[in-house]
Chains A and B, each alone.
Chain A
Amino acid sequence: MSQFILHKENTRGHANHGWLNAHHSFSFANYYNPERMHFGVLRVLNDDLIDGGMGFGTHPHDNMEIITIPLAGAIAHKDSMGNSAVIKSGEIQVMSAGTGVSHSEFNALPDEKLSLLQIWLFPNKKNVTPRYDQLALDLDARRNNFQQILSPDQDDAGVWIHQDAWFSLGKFDEGFETEYKIKKGGNGVYAFVISGEVTINGQTLSKRDGLGIWDTNSISFKANAANAEVLLMDVPMEF
């Protein structure tokens, strides 16, 4: 029998720092809710809106798989591995922090807001050599399809990480229905609605709602609005 947990948009943690308007699906920084610590290995899902030219100065990370998906605008990234890059909407960035890495992230555009999702997963191996990657995604491939954008396999579609996790993005026509099969036994799926309204396993979800489902092999999906966009995070529940 499948189990689920529903996180409505307005129940997320919220921190407005002026230049940064952040919503946290799970406990982060000063937002602490013991009921919202993680979904399996998914530890952080931050929905950030950043003013033009503003951002996070150089700061360290370790032992975390960090995935950034810009929804609108572009991020300027610099790190201690020597990477200097701009990641635009339609691309995905991944960083395995491993033994330790420092980086900065700024809105690359001076006059436009940057909207991004930043996702942290616990790694399946500690103290790996830090690594960085980014990838431009084929936006057409996600029309009425869950397009795989991340996996544990270097040779599979999307970027890869040190965890048995698969991420997929889809953008759907109103009324489109499909089924998503969970990639690995013991994994669950956390669905996050980027825009529009959808129904997953009988639960109606609106923009920025999250639904975690586990103890099942698949989930049913229906788009209730045109251009509904959803991110699925298929992650181990035990770690």
Chain B
Amino acid sequence: MQTTILYIGRDAEITIVMNRLLNARPEWKGICVCTDEEAVSILEAQNVDLVLLGNGIDVECEKALRSNINALKPGVKIIQHYGGGSGLLYGEIMTALS
């Protein structure tokens, strides 16, 4: 069974890389977006197991995002993704899902 992971980050280049990295593993399905509106649409439309908050999300946006995520998908884990690439990604996701 695939784990659906939603990544939200403001840098389009990093978002493309994250999409490639997340979807390179058959056990993960990655959905990567740059805007909060896109993120909310995804959360409204389908199952999400884990949310990764990426770069460039300011404090106010993060607060609103967390509130929206908790309202739309109560109990879903939300973690900060650091580093912007493959170095920490596997460990972050494994820790969050364990």
Contact = CB atoms under 8 A, between A and B. Distances in A.
Interface of A: 27-30, 32, 34, 37, 43-44, 59-64, 97-100, 102, 120, 122, 127
A100 B88 contact: no
B84 A34 contact: no
Contacts of A43: 82, 88
B98 interface: yes
Interface of B: 9-11, 13-14, 17, 54-58, 80, 82-88, 90-91, 94-95, 98
Nearest to B86: A29
Given A32-B94, A34-B98, 10 more contacts: A29-B90, A37-B91, A60-B11, A62-B82, A62-B83, A64-B82, A97-B83, A100-B84, A120-B88, A127-B55
Contacts of A37: 91, 95
20 contacts: A27-B88, A27-B91, A29-B86, A29-B90, A34-B98, A43-B82, A60-B11, A61-B85, A62-B14, A62-B56, A62-B82, A62-B83, A62-B84, A63-B80, A63-B83, A64-B83, A100-B13, A100-B14, A100-B84, A120-B87
B55 A99 contact: yes
A109 to B, nearest CB: 25
A59 B91 contact: no
Contacts of A28: 87-88, 91
Contacts of B9: 62
B97 to A, nearest CB: 11
Nearest to A36: B91
A151 B13 CA distance: 31
Contact of B90 (A30, A44, A61, A64): A30
A122 B91 contact: no
Contacts of B10: 99-100
Contact of A32 (B14, B55, B85, B91): B91
A159 B16 CA distance: 32
Contacts of B56: 62, 99-100, 127
A204 to B, nearest CB: 30
A61 B94 contact: no
Contacts of A32: 90-91, 94
B88 to A, nearest CB: 7
B86 A34 contact: no
B55 A63 contact: yes
Contacts of B88: 27-28, 43-44, 120
Contact of B11 (A30, A59, A100, A120): A100
A99 B54 CA distance: 9
Contacts of B84: 60-64, 97, 100
